[in-house]
Amino acid sequence: MEDLYKKRQEEKARSRAKDEERLARGEVDPVELQRQNFVFKKVRADRVGFVKNREPKSIKFLSL
């Protein structure tokens, strides 16, 4: 299990380094890079059940 964790850390470090190189070369801007790295970019909201801009009824929000 520890090997899997270590391998994943190394994979993420390589990915971050690659992203930094792409930014430095100007291949991609920060906004586009964030879009590419977004975890849920292919998830359909209607299938998963994401609800936009809805506040839970059990929590009272203060308007400031």
**Buried-state track 1-23, b at ≥16 Cβ within 10 A, e below 16:** eeeeeeeeeeeeeeeeeebeeee
28 contacts 22 by C-beta, under 8 angstroms: yes
Q: What pLDDT does residue 11 have?
A: 94
Residue 56 structure tokens: 């839970």
Q: What are the tens digits of pLDDT across the range 18-58?
A: 999 999 999 999 989 988 888 766 666 556 555 566 666 66
Query: With 90 as the cut, is the pLDDT of residue 1 above it?
Result: no
Query: With 60 as the cut, is the pLDDT of residue 61 above it?
Result: no
pTM for this prediction: 0.55
* CA–CA gap between residue 10 and residue 18 (Å, rounded): 12
Q: What pLDDT does residue 48 have?
A: 57
